Amino acid sequence: MSPVGYFEHVVEPGETGMRLDALIGGLEFIASRSAAARLIDDGLVLVNGQHAPKKHAVKAGERIEIEVPPYNRGDLVAEDIPLDIRFEDAHMIVLSKPAGLVVHPAEGHWTGTLVHALLAHSDDLGSLQGEDRPGIVHRLDKDTSGLMMVAKTDMAQVALQEMIKVRSVDRRYLTLVHGWIAPDTGLIDAALSRDPRERMRMAVSDASNAKQSVTTFRVLERFEAGRFDDGFTLLECKLYTGRTHQIRVHMAYINHPCVGDPVYGARKIKADLGLERQFLHAYRLELVHPITGEKLRFLDPPPEDLASRLAQIAEDSSGRTKAGDEVLGMLSGSQLS
């Protein structure tokens, strides 16, 4: 759900002609287009000081005022959902999120989220992200698995979010992508914004409101082409920014989409090795504890659905790189050091 409060947005030239509900639904503080439509229907949206219909075509320079009322889907109720916790103290939690688990309540997912599970696990969670996001510091997509941080106090929540902002948290991902990537390393510096044609998607853009997005990668292992595919490359990706769908969009942008990606991929089930979610896993997290100063490193091997796909194509491997020996060797050892 959106944070509570009053917000303003001035229409950018590149947004001219969009429907009002589509524009508002694409703003990062609004959960969805349907949530935006409810706000408009409830008279909580003004365009240049006047009420406007959902179908209003916005114009550059129009000032949109949005009032988001308190969370009104009922009090959050703790739910007994298992958590795979890798570290916990009085200040923070590190856990491994499974694919399929939504992080916080939003349109279509009012129950059964990570937040509901956290409420059942602990009475102490940071409150600075709003009533519907207790403890949340950052997010993973619903069908992306792997390591996440959760704050148990407001002090830890502020500190962890600032650490992410200044890039002092080392977050790395494993992804299997389509095709053969020849260079052993690469950098993708391509700004992202909402896709103007489909606001639930992100896209590389040169629009004025696009946000800088930087991803680096190292090749871990390459796989020869088979009957139904053009080969695969296993990558380690490191985020220098944390935009929505960043790795998935950047990989598709260089014509190597993540295997199984239902949004940015080719959606060919055999070429996707039968995988129906993106092969993307947050496998490594390193940071200095924001309160104690302790150095923490966590490693999380890929879950069974992803590991089985690597085993499926193992005989097509052309060999691991030096980075592959390093990373995959680490993952075969301890998860926490």
| Known catalytic membership, residue 141 | yes
Alpha-carbon distance of 71 to 4, in angstroms, equals 7
Alpha-carbon distance of 289 to 88, in angstroms, equals 11
C-alpha 134 chain-centroid distance:
17
Alpha-carbon distance of 15 to 17, in angstroms, equals 6
- Strand ranges for the chain from DSSP E: 5-10, 45-47, 63-68, 84-88, 92-97, 145-151, 170-178, 185-189, 192-195, 198-204, 214-223, 232-239, 280-288, 295-299, 317-320
User: φ, ψ for residue 86 (rounded to 5)?
Assistant: -105, -20
Q: List beta partners, residue 145.
A: 281
21, 132, 141, 272: the catalytic one is 141
Closest CA to 82 of 64, 100, 67: 100
Please answer whether residues 254 and 233 qualify as being in contact, where contact means their C-beta atoms are separated by less than 8 angstroms. no
Residues with catalytic annotation?
A: 141
